[in-house]
Amino acid sequence: MAASPEYDYLFKLLLIGDSGVGKSCLLTRFVQDAYNEFHVSTIGVDFKTVTTMVRGRLVKLQLWDTAGQERFSVVTGNYYRNSDGFVFVYDATNRQSFDHIEGWLSQVQQHHECGPNTIKILVGNKADAVGSLQVSEEEGRAKAEQLGAFFVATSAKTAANVDMAFLTAAQNLVENRRKQKQQPKSASATGSNPMALGKVGPSGQGNEKGKCCKG
């Protein structure tokens, strides 16, 4: 008899954005609570896992850190399929990285349906560099609303809101999965459109932020 899985839910999240925006630093901060200012750019794809409690359920997140260089676009494109959510990251001190976000979304849409259950998070990283900011939080929130994404301003350096970014994704993925299970079978049998699924905000009540079993 096969052993029972050591988690209630398994989700795959991809971090996407220009090279140098801090994707790897965000991932390292979330998984290991560490920061390296001189982190080497990702070549191809990196991968980490973390297990966390969300609404009383044990959730395992597969976190894929994709390279931002164009020469790796074919390689990273293969990882977009079967992803449950995407974390789009820009550098708030680099306007160009913000302007490229829609291009990254278009690239994802070439490989992924991005249906109503797909969670999108827009992260404005390096928010701690107040004197060097080129993109305001208001602009970030407006862009997120345009893309149908959640917005979180983070700092991998200070750890500000890093957990919130990933746990917002996890909480909404769990909520969507639960609603899918509760959906009457007749709804899918009739070929009707999937019902709209609600979103849980970044600071919703009942959020559980403890992480464990990092790998």
Report if residue 143 sits inside a domain. Answer: yes
118 domain-assigned: yes
Statement: residue 174 has pLDDT above 60: yes
Is 190 among the domain residues?
no
List the CATH number of the domain containing 83.
3.40.50.300
Per-residue confidence (pLDDT) for residue 114, from 0 to 100? 82
Mean pLDDT of 171-196: 65
Residue among 21, 16, 88 nearest 45 (CA): 16
Domain assignment present for residue 189? The answer is: no
What gap in Å lies between CA 83 and CA 85, rounded to an integer? Answer: 6
Q: In whole numbers, what is the pLDDT of the chain averaged over residues? A: 81
CB 23 within 8 A of CB 65: yes
Structural domain total, the chain: 1
In a domain, 136, yes or no: yes
Range of the domain at 61: 9-182+201-212
Question: Per the domain annotation, does 206 fall within a domain?
Answer: yes
Please state, in angstroms and rounded to a whole number, the distance separating the CA atoms of residues 156 and 173. 23
Tell me the mean pLDDT in the region 17-21.
Answer: 92
Highest mean pLDDT among 46-55, 65-74, 107-116, 199-208: 46-55
Residue 141 has pLDDT above 80, yes or no: yes
Task: Give the tens place of pLDDT for each residue, 192-214.
Answer: 333 233 334 453 333 344 454 44
Helix (H, G, I), strand (E, B) or coil at 14: strand
Candidate from 70-79, 81-90, 184-193 with smallest mean pLDDT = 184-193
Quickly state the pLDDT bin for 180 (edges 50, 70, 90).
confident
Q: Is 9 exposed, middle or buried (0-12, 13-18, 19+ CB in 10 A)?
A: middle
Average pLDDT over residues 147-165: 97
List beta partners, residue 45: 66
Q: Does 67 map to a domain?
A: yes
Q: Is residue 187 part of a domain?
A: no
